[in-house]
């Protein structure tokens, strides 16, 4: 087996390549700006797609981020994968259904027409509260957690667990399945703030904002406008139920329980202590 990993520099891709490295599964990193040994791949440049599939028996596909309509960019690779008989394709989808963005569901439907498909549909990543995500930057710099979602809860999952799920899906006997992945608890933003405060000793204030204000914050951080608006409106929709309940999709795929938010915070304590 040889796995081509799209998004290898990203939140789940980095953790996935570490797992593949650890168990000796041959893999190649794909990137728009590849380091030596990696493959150049750009969703928006179909001339790079053949090289991605060359010698690959499986692909982990992180679709182009920050767009509500990834299908036009993804379709050429799906066509090529079918034509060239790629045995296995694991797509990173999402449990979040952004408003006015039917393209993501259309993309998942088209992936299901591709032999050897698996679709992972994770809940919000715990990593949204760390690193470069605009919510994380405000949290780190000002101790404020911006939310338009009231007391609505999300089944936050550690992106390292999403990578473990991808790893299991790539190596599983079974394909043609969709996996809804959540962490072990559904937490509101207020509960997230409480856990961060308790585990790090840092006071975190939840600042309730409107969807429009949150969209402005996302845009100011550099997110493209239509995506920023949809993401903010999605965040506000959590107030009314959002992503729904918890699933056992992770345990069924990997045979173990997903990590808790408290454990995630413990692993990233330095991130918030620095603020």
* Chain residues that interact with ligand NAP, rule: CB under 6 A: 6-7, 9-13, 31-33, 41-44, 62-65, 92, 94, 96, 122, 124-125, 128
Q: How far is the CB of 38 from ligand NAP (least distance, A)?
A: 8
Residues with Cβ < 8 Å from 217, sequence gap 6 or more?
Answer: 134, 138, 146, 209, 232
Q: Are the beta carbons of 58 and 64 closer than 8 angstroms?
A: no
β-partners of residue 181 are 122
Q: How far is the CB of 92 from ligand NAP (least distance, A)?
A: 5
Shorter beta-carbon distance to ligand NAP: residue 44 or 252: 44
Nearest in space to 170 (alpha carbons), one of 24, 270, 20: 20
Shorter beta-carbon distance to ligand NAP: residue 41 or 218: 41
SS3 157: strand
- Longest CA pairwise span in the chain (Å): 55
Shorter beta-carbon distance to ligand NAP: residue 94 or 188: 94
> Distance from first CA to last CA of the chain, Å, rounded?
44
Encoded tokens for 258: 């997903």
Q: How far is the CB of 41 from ligand NAP (least distance, A)?
A: 5
| Cα dihedral: 197, 200, 204, 206 (round 10) | -60
Shorter beta-carbon distance to ligand NAP: residue 27 or 43: 43
Shorter beta-carbon distance to ligand NAP: residue 163 or 206: 163
Distance between CA atoms of residues 15 and 136, nearest Å: 19
Q: How far is the CB of 11 from ligand NAP (least distance, A)?
A: 3
Encoded tokens for 180: 């809804």
Q: How far is the CB of 173 from ligand NAP (least distance, A)?
A: 25
Residue nearest to ligand NAP (CB): 10
Shorter beta-carbon distance to ligand NAP: residue 13 or 258: 13
Shorter beta-carbon distance to ligand NAP: residue 15 or 206: 15
Distance between CA atoms of residues 116 and 182, nearest Å: 23
Nearest in space to 261 (alpha carbons), one of 163, 157, 171, 165: 157
Q: How far is the CB of 6 from ligand NAP (least distance, A)?
A: 6
Q: Are the beta carbons of 232 and 135 closer than 8 angstroms?
A: no
Alpha carbons within 13 angstroms on the beta-carbon side of residue 15 total 15
Residues with Cβ < 8 Å from 37, sequence gap 6 or more?
Answer: 28, 29
Shorter beta-carbon distance to ligand NAP: residue 37 or 173: 37
């Amino acid at each position: 087996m040889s796995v081509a990993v799209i998004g290898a520099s990203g939140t789940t891709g980095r953790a996935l390549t570490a797992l593949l490295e650890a168990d000796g599964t041959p893999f190649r990193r794909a990137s728009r700006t590849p380091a030596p040994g990696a493959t150049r791949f750009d969703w928006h440049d179909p001339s790079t797609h053949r090289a991605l599939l060359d010698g690959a028996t499986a692909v982990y596909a992180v679709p182009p981020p920050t767009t509500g309509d990834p299908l036009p960019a993804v379709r050429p690779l799906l066509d090529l994968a079918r034509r060239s008989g790629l045995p296995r394709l694991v797509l990173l989808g999402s449990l979040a259904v952004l408003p006015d963005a039917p393209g993501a569901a259309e993309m998942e439907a088209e992936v299901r027409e591709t032999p050897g498909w698996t679709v992972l549909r994770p809940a919000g990543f715990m990593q949204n509260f760390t690193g470069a995500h605009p919510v994380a930057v405000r949290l780190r710099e000002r101790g404020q957690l911006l939310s338009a979602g009231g007391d609505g809860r999300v089944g936050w999952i550690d992106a390292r667990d999403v990578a473990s799920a991808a790893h299991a899906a790539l190596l599983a006997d079974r394909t043609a399945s969709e996996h809804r992945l959540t962490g072990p608890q559904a937490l509101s933003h207020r509960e997230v703030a409480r856990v961060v405060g308790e585990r790090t000793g840092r006071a975190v204030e939840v600042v309730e904002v409107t969807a429009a204000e949150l969209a402005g914050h996302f845009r100011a951080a550099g997110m493209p406008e239509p995506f920023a608006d949809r993401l903010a409106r999605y965040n506000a929709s959590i107030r009314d139920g959002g992503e729904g309940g918890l699933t056992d999709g992770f345990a069924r795929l990997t045979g173990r329980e997903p990590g808790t938010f408290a454990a995630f915070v413990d692993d990233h304590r330095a991130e918030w202590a620095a603020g």
